[in-house]
Structure 1
Amino acid sequence: MMKQPNSNNIFERTFSTKKAEEKRMSRYQQLMLIGVLFGVLLYPFLLAGILPLAVVFSIDKKDKQDHVYDFDYESFLQRRSSLFLLSALLLTVLNLFLFVSVIPRGYLSCYLLFPLNLLHTTLRFGFSTICALIVGGLGTGSWLIYYASFVEKRKVISKEERQQEILNSKEYQARLKNKYEESQKYTKEYQREYALAIVIKDVALRNKRLEELSKVLLLGTDEYGLSYVMAFKELNQHAILPATTGSGKTTLIQVFIEHAAKFSIPVIVIDGKGAFDTLKAVREIAEAYNRPFRSFVDHGDMRYNPVKNGNDVAVRDKLIGLAETESVYYSTAAKSLLMVTIQLIDEFKKTHPIERSLPFIQEYFLPRNVLKLFADRILEKNPKLFEMEIEVKAEKKTKEKAEKNNEENHNEFDLMMEEQEDSLEVEVVTLNPDTLRLLDFYYLIKQNMDYMSEKEQDIFNRLFVRYEHKKDPFYLYVTSENLQNNINMLLDSELGELFQTMGATDELDIKEVVNQNEILYISLDGLLYSEYISVLAQMIVGDINFFCSEVYKKAKEQQEIKDVLVIFDEPSSYLNDDFISLVNKGRGAGIHAIFSPQTMADVDRINIHLKNQLVGNVNTFFIGKTNAPNEIEFWGNVMGTYNDIDVTDVVTQEAGFSDASKLSWEGDKGTKRQVDRFKINPNRIRDLRQGEFVVYRTALNVREIPRVVYIRKPKVKE
């Protein structure tokens, strides 16, 4: 028997499958079919319904543009889906009621355009027709809007895909190309509001308006064309501004200083490299807003007394960098000496021509000078302190017998007394405190401690007596050579002049800077004085903290704390663990700090853990251009990830060549899974150029996706 041909060959299977697929309709096709049928039947009302649909689409588009950076945001069309359905149902019921009971002829007359124009009818276009079109159009439009909302919510599109669509759009590329013009887009209006506020005649009203404006800072225009503003108060939780050379970092620093200058907020800029560009930028802003500007630089006339303010502990903390050694043992001794020396100067400046200053600390790090101070006090009650009675041998010459006493009779005893003999004599010697052996000088003072006041005795004990069980009572001075040498080198160098404050006419005083709302620029040449920049920065921050603590104590009753903006430019020159702690202490007293390193590798070079400590102590990030691959990944991880979906498509290709011209091989099926993606892709950080910064804010409960901002150029004096 002949076999029947096998019907399951590849060609038959292919074509039979294709026919089966053609017979099935997707749910989308079914909805479209229903929509087309209703559209044909209700075409007059469908045409009228396009108007409300267009209005809702316009509102939805604007809503999306206002929140284009937030991919978790539900647009107007999505979040009002239930409202649109309810409106559609109610309007449908209303239309049915009007059609059946009120204006049936009005509804029918809507079809006079077609097909009733082909028939002889008594229907006429009138007021009832217009009413029917309006109500019917609203009803049909509501269903169209609900359908659009339904489709929008059913779309399976990843956030990354939506973002990529925006980044590839012509509008985005145009903004990027003209970023400098875009950055100034909102500047004119921002400056105009300030200009109007300062001319308000009513003082109370003017101050109120200026206070409102001072709370908001305009950085520029974001990548989506929106104005980018932030609360100035966010900087109170500190910020970091890492950016390499040519990134526009100086311009961004100027933006912060400009805001402070506008609203009389004192500014202190500590520059770790002494770049002239930074000095010039700060001065330009000060001149543009007529703010008092001062600079403390190695070639200037301003003098600085870092130990003028604060108690002994505060001064110790300020000078701690000079006392540090590799040995904790010696560092602790140096800190003790530093603290007690301050107590010594405070006690004796009442009666001696001395003051709290580095030169006098240097002088009283010599134990002989210290002992002289105590000796001066003892001399007031015991003027004979340096007088000593000593017994010396004196020879008595024999008296000559002949010429004077020839005729005198002398007994034997008298003759014996006239013999040569030695006798003892008491002589008073005055000791010289400059040449007296140091240990003898100490014991001399100790023997006369009863002439000292209780406070003086206490200081003497802290400096000398309590260390007698060591090798000698000068233990603190012997073990603090590193501290003494560092201060000697500092004061003996060219920089020493900057700390000679006696008789100085221009002296750096943080209290005065803050009270007078001045702009202060501090810098040393980073190439020449790199070893002293760290110490100077700690001194300045210590002074800031002391002043802030004083203000904080006084302001507690009035609930009023003054803001101070402090910018640490190139902080890698002076950054360390203690420095970050010092800055954090000022947070509660109004310090708004911005750290601006060129690269995080500079911070890593100081201490491998310091980078994480610094990043952990800030809550606002302005990330500029960087070329280091590890830093790009680091910042991507700092900003974190968001939940997204990964959508895959089944790729299909039918047999034969009939579909060779297809542009897409994506099928109707695919998979979807949850994934984590970077909030800012590291590749986007790598692509940053001049004037572009990724801004990421976490202070004050701000929850925003990081955005690229085109930094505006601030107003400067021309």
Structure 2
Amino acid sequence: MMKQPNSNNIFERTFSTKKAEEKSLSRYKQLMLIGIFFGVLLYPFLFAGVIPLAIVFSIDKKDKQDHVYDFDYESFLQRRSSLFLLSALLLTVLNLFLFASVIPRGYLSCYLLFPLNLLHTTLRFGFSTICALIIGGLGTGSWLIYYASFVEKRKVISKEERQQKILNSKEYKARLKNKYEESQKYTEEYQQKYALAIVIKDVALRNKRLEELSKVLLLGTDEYGLPYILEFKELNQHAILPATTGSGKTTLIQVLIEHAAKFSMPVILIDGKGALDTLEAVREIAEAYDRPFRAFVDHGDMRYNPVKNGNDVAVRDKLIGLAETESVYYSTAAKSLLMVTIQLIDEFKKTHEIERSLPFIQKYFLPRNVLKLFADRILEKNPKLFEVKVESKPEKKSENKKKQEENHDEFEQMMEDFVDSLEVEIVTLYPDTIHLLDFYYLLKQNMVYMNEKEQDIFNRLFVRYEHKKDPFYLYVTSENLQNNINMLLDSELGELFQTMGANNELDIKEVVNHNEILYISLDGLLYSEYITVLAQMIVGDINFFCSEVYKKEKDQQEIKNVLVIFDEPSSYLNDDFISLVNKGRGAGIHAIFGPQTMADIDKINIHLKNQLVGNVNTFFIGKTNAPNEIEFWGNVMGTYSDIDVTDVITQEAGFSDASKLSWEGDKGTKRQVDRFKINPNRLRDLRQGEFVVYRTALNVREIPRIVYIRKPKVKE
């Protein structure tokens, strides 16, 4: 049989539950009664205590506003909870002592404030009353402040909820609506500091002030209405600026260039899309701050000699893109030819009108031209190099002559035949027409007239390959390199590399030494085959400059900050490019990579994106439309630890269920969760001029913030 529930047990449980609720409610009522009692008892001091409470609330609000972006930050009210309790206890003891021993009438006269002022007493409102009111108000206010601090510390609210409250606020929405005006809010003050610094007459003081200002860069206004300041030294650990068309990336690049221009820092901008508006914008910035500006473009008059600086290995590395083939065997031969050709030019430019340049490398990739150089040196010591003695064949004698000679004696005939056999003639050879292999062996026979260095180069180019099919093995197996250089110099770009006698020549070392702003651009659409090689040449020159810096003692030089911006790098990135750039960190290189999308880099090499991201420590993430990139950047910036708070939803008694109203009950749950530092939906909602800035270069934990990028000031 089914056991019937015990009605007594049900009654007891119901009664105990109600009793517990009554007990709980009575405790709450007791606290309320105690609070009301002390409020009424100390009401004059309570009114006075509101003043310090308001002051502390004001300080706390300002403190929260200054760190509104940092949800781990404890505000003034939370941090000073123990201090407020100690102050409250000390002031309470002080007030009791003063009331009991010093100015009891002063404390009692405080009650003459309305409504007890209607009573007729002997108490009078005087100086002691004011003292008692102030000290008593401070004591009561301390307890109020401590209570507010106690409540603030024990609030259970998630960081996400706190942030969402800010994002939904009227102030935030107003800033977003007027973001272009907001972005300029601190610009005038920022520029004013620079304007005041440059007019200081004391040179030492002016330089010191400018150096201080150069260390910080105002990017604009963040989403919370605060100025967003970046320490310029962070860019020495490199930055990435991924943003699609129409995101405002060019404006951000101009802000970076403006900062460098203000403080005479050299700038090198490599633009992979060749946009004329970028060229003009950079030129305007340079003119606004009176900085020398130079442009290397496909339609300009500046010339470039990529092999001017560096040893043979450095030059080989610069031109490695032209030497590479699918075969490692042939690529190695091409690299060897490059190195030895540079050695050849370096040796013979002392006596010949030649220079280290691509046109002369092209010329001396032809073995006949190389042999001519060696021939010129041999001719200095052996002028008869091309004069060769050749035995002449005696004429065949006619029958009549033979009959006449029969009358000669035998001895005379023998002597005549001997003399005829020794007849020789001098033949002059011409270096332009002599058979190439004969030319080589002629020079090899005269190697004794070469100096030791010349013999060494001759051996490296020819002699050591005699065991191959012919001694011109290096030239035969390097046709790909020769063809690439021929195509480059024969194209419309070829004129840019004709540096012999040029007045305007690109030299990275000069750009840095003279604090110039250099704009380098080739149209990646028109010159896609060459832009990678050109960019690699430029990076090679940057590394040569860095190597020169490393060679000098640090106490003998001042290491300059050099801003290098690689805009649209997907046009010229390769596996070795990033490692090449990283070598420049110790020499002051501040590198910025600005691709449109990371998918463009994936097309080059699937691992290159991770390599690039792994080598930067500052991120300026702009508008992107690709869902996978939004997720990618969310993962790059990582997560933070938060709490997930749930509330018990109850239906208030006495209301109809038809309206489906929800009411939060007194109970809930709390659990630890991980959330993205920047919600992917916020990345998806980025628009023009808005960038998520995430920094890891400094030894602080900066959370990502959306920044409204200001416009650079290019005109006075």
What's the TM-score, normalizing by structure 2?
Answer: 0.94
CA–CA separation in structure 2 for the residues paired with 1:249 and 1:112: 68
Q: Report the secondary structure of 1:322's partner residue.
A: helix
Q: Is the Cα–Cα contact under 8 Å of residues 634 and 677 in structure 2 kept in the other structure?
A: yes
- Cα separation, partners in 2 of 1:660 and 1:473, compared to 1, 3 Å: same
Moved more, 667-676 or 249-258: 667-676
Moved more, 284-293 or 355-364: 284-293
Q: Report the secondary structure of 2:129's partner residue.
A: helix
C-alpha displacement of 1:92: 0.5
CA–CA separation in structure 2 for the residues paired with 1:407 and 1:527: 86
C-alpha displacement of 1:182: 0.5
- Cα separation, partners in 2 of 1:14 and 1:167, compared to 1, 3 Å: farther
Q: Is the Cα–Cα contact under 8 Å of residues 620 and 695 in structure 1 kept in the other structure?
A: yes
Moved more, 414-423 or 531-540: 414-423
- Cα separation, partners in 2 of 1:2 and 1:340, compared to 1, 3 Å: closer
Q: CA offsets, 1:285-341, max 9 Å, x none? A: 112222221111111111111111111111111111111122222222211111111
C-alpha displacement of 1:406: 11
Moved more, 3-12 or 579-588: 3-12
Q: Is the Cα–Cα contact under 8 Å of residues 652 and 663 in structure 2 kept in the other structure?
A: no
> 1:631: which partner in 2?
629
Q: Is the Cα–Cα contact under 8 Å of residues 651 and 667 in structure 1 kept in the other structure?
A: yes
C-alpha displacement of 1:656: 5.6
CA–CA separation in structure 2 for the residues paired with 1:458 and 1:231: 53
> 1:463: which partner in 2?
461
Q: CA offsets, 1:152-179, max 9 Å, x none? A: 0001111111111111111111111111
- Cα separation, partners in 2 of 1:18 and 1:709, compared to 1, 3 Å: farther
Q: Is the Cα–Cα contact under 8 Å of residues 374 and 445 in structure 1 kept in the other structure?
A: yes
- Cα separation, partners in 2 of 1:405 and 1:364, compared to 1, 3 Å: closer
- Cα separation, partners in 2 of 1:367 and 1:675, compared to 1, 3 Å: same
Q: Is the Cα–Cα contact under 8 Å of residues 184 and 221 in structure 1 kept in the other structure?
A: yes
CA–CA separation in structure 2 for the residues paired with 1:5 and 1:312: 100
C-alpha displacement of 1:198: 1.0
C-alpha displacement of 1:447: 2.4
Q: Is the Cα–Cα contact under 8 Å of residues 399 and 418 in structure 1 kept in the other structure?
A: no
- Cα separation, partners in 2 of 1:362 and 1:413, compared to 1, 3 Å: closer
- Cα separation, partners in 2 of 1:154 and 1:493, compared to 1, 3 Å: same
> 2:13: which partner in 1?
13
C-alpha displacement of 1:30: 5.7
Q: CA offsets, 1:592-612, max 9 Å, x none? A: 111111111111111000000
- Cα separation, partners in 2 of 1:50 and 1:426, compared to 1, 3 Å: same
Q: Is the Cα–Cα contact under 8 Å of residues 386 and 431 in structure 1 kept in the other structure?
A: yes
C-alpha displacement of 1:520: 1.0
Q: Is the Cα–Cα contact under 8 Å of residues 555 and 561 in structure 1 kept in the other structure?
A: no
Q: CA offsets, 1:490-540, max 9 Å, x none? A: 001111011001121211122222222111111111211111111111111
Q: Is the Cα–Cα contact under 8 Å of residues 651 and 661 in structure 2 kept in the other structure?
A: no
C-alpha displacement of 1:9: 13
- Cα separation, partners in 2 of 1:31 and 1:442, compared to 1, 3 Å: farther
CA–CA separation in structure 1 for the residues paired with 2:637 and 2:414: 110
Q: Is the Cα–Cα contact under 8 Å of residues 395 and 421 in structure 1 kept in the other structure?
A: no
Q: Report the secondary structure of 2:430's partner residue.
A: coil
CA–CA separation in structure 1 for the residues paired with 2:160 and 2:290: 48
Q: Report the secondary structure of 2:425's partner residue.
A: strand
C-alpha displacement of 1:646: 1.1
Q: CA offsets, 1:248-295, max 9 Å, x none? A: 111111101111111111111110011122112211211222222111
Q: Is the Cα–Cα contact under 8 Å of residues 237 and 590 in structure 2 kept in the other structure?
A: yes
C-alpha displacement of 1:186: 0.4
Q: Report the secondary structure of 1:577's partner residue.
A: coil
C-alpha displacement of 1:541: 1.4
Q: Is the Cα–Cα contact under 8 Å of residues 651 and 662 in structure 2 kept in the other structure?
A: no
Q: CA offsets, 1:346-386, max 9 Å, x none? A: 00100111100000000111112112211211222222322
C-alpha displacement of 1:422: 7.2
Moved more, 348-357 or 8-17: 8-17
Structure 2: tracts of 5 or more residues without a match: none
Q: Is the Cα–Cα contact under 8 Å of residues 110 and 133 in structure 1 kept in the other structure?
A: yes
Q: Report the secondary structure of 1:420's partner residue.
A: helix
C-alpha displacement of 1:433: 2.2
- Cα separation, partners in 2 of 1:128 and 1:669, compared to 1, 3 Å: same
Q: Is the Cα–Cα contact under 8 Å of residues 308 and 356 in structure 1 kept in the other structure?
A: yes
- Cα separation, partners in 2 of 1:653 and 1:517, compared to 1, 3 Å: same
Moved more, 257-266 or 124-133: 124-133
Moved more, 336-345 or 414-423: 414-423
CA–CA separation in structure 2 for the residues paired with 1:415 and 1:346: 61
- Cα separation, partners in 2 of 1:122 and 1:435, compared to 1, 3 Å: same
- Across the aligned residues of Structure 1 and Structure 2, the Cα RMSD in angstroms comes to 3.1
> 2:523: which partner in 1?
525
Q: Report the secondary structure of 1:410's partner residue.
A: coil
C-alpha displacement of 1:706: 0.7
* Residue 564 (str. 1) matches residue 562 (str. 2): yes
- Cα separation, partners in 2 of 1:248 and 1:604, compared to 1, 3 Å: same
Q: Is the Cα–Cα contact under 8 Å of residues 395 and 423 in structure 1 kept in the other structure?
A: no
Moved more, 29-38 or 75-84: 29-38
Q: Report the secondary structure of 2:141's partner residue.
A: helix
Aligned residues: 716
CA–CA separation in structure 2 for the residues paired with 1:710 and 1:698: 20
Q: CA offsets, 1:12-37, max 9 Å, x none? A: 99999678535523977665443233
Q: Report the secondary structure of 1:25's partner residue.
A: helix
Q: CA offsets, 1:668-711, max 9 Å, x none? A: 11111111111111111101111000001111324211110000
C-alpha displacement of 1:116: 4.3
Q: Is the Cα–Cα contact under 8 Å of residues 268 and 517 in structure 2 kept in the other structure?
A: yes
Q: Is the Cα–Cα contact under 8 Å of residues 398 and 418 in structure 1 kept in the other structure?
A: no
C-alpha displacement of 1:456: 1.1
C-alpha displacement of 1:444: 2.3
C-alpha displacement of 1:660: 7.6
CA–CA separation in structure 2 for the residues paired with 1:521 and 1:600: 24
Name the % identity: 91
- Cα separation, partners in 2 of 1:441 and 1:120, compared to 1, 3 Å: same
CA–CA separation in structure 1 for the residues paired with 2:536 and 2:240: 19
Moved more, 84-93 or 420-429: 420-429
Q: Is the Cα–Cα contact under 8 Å of residues 650 and 662 in structure 2 kept in the other structure?
A: no
Q: Is the Cα–Cα contact under 8 Å of residues 238 and 594 in structure 1 kept in the other structure?
A: yes
C-alpha displacement of 1:431: 2.3
C-alpha displacement of 1:468: 2.6
Moved more, 177-186 or 22-31: 22-31
C-alpha displacement of 1:633: 0.6
Q: CA offsets, 1:65-86, max 9 Å, x none? A: 0001111111000010010000
Q: Report the secondary structure of 1:669's partner residue.
A: strand
CA–CA separation in structure 1 for the residues paired with 2:184 and 2:26: 50
C-alpha displacement of 1:439: 2.4
- Cα separation, partners in 2 of 1:31 and 1:272, compared to 1, 3 Å: farther
- Cα separation, partners in 2 of 1:118 and 1:528, compared to 1, 3 Å: closer
C-alpha displacement of 1:654: 5.2
- Cα separation, partners in 2 of 1:683 and 1:716, compared to 1, 3 Å: same
Q: How does 1:75-86 map to 2 (within 5 A)?
A: 75-86=75-86
- Cα separation, partners in 2 of 1:494 and 1:32, compared to 1, 3 Å: farther
C-alpha displacement of 1:437: 2.5
Q: CA offsets, 1:24-62, max 9 Å, x none? A: 239776654432332122111111100000000000000
Moved more, 683-692 or 19-28: 19-28
What's the TM-score, normalizing by structure 1?
Answer: 0.94
CA–CA separation in structure 2 for the residues paired with 1:559 and 1:90: 60
- Cα separation, partners in 2 of 1:11 and 1:463, compared to 1, 3 Å: farther
Q: Report the secondary structure of 2:592's partner residue.
A: strand
Q: CA offsets, 1:417-450, max 9 Å, x none? A: 8999974522222222222222232222222222
- Cα separation, partners in 2 of 1:64 and 1:445, compared to 1, 3 Å: same
Q: Is the Cα–Cα contact under 8 Å of residues 316 and 335 in structure 1 kept in the other structure?
A: yes
- Cα separation, partners in 2 of 1:410 and 1:574, compared to 1, 3 Å: closer
CA–CA separation in structure 2 for the residues paired with 1:467 and 1:564: 45
Moved more, 129-138 or 104-113: 104-113
Q: CA offsets, 1:164-210, max 9 Å, x none? A: 11111111111111111110100001111111111111111111111
> 1:188: which partner in 2?
188
C-alpha displacement of 1:475: 2.1
Q: Is the Cα–Cα contact under 8 Å of residues 396 and 423 in structure 1 kept in the other structure?
A: no
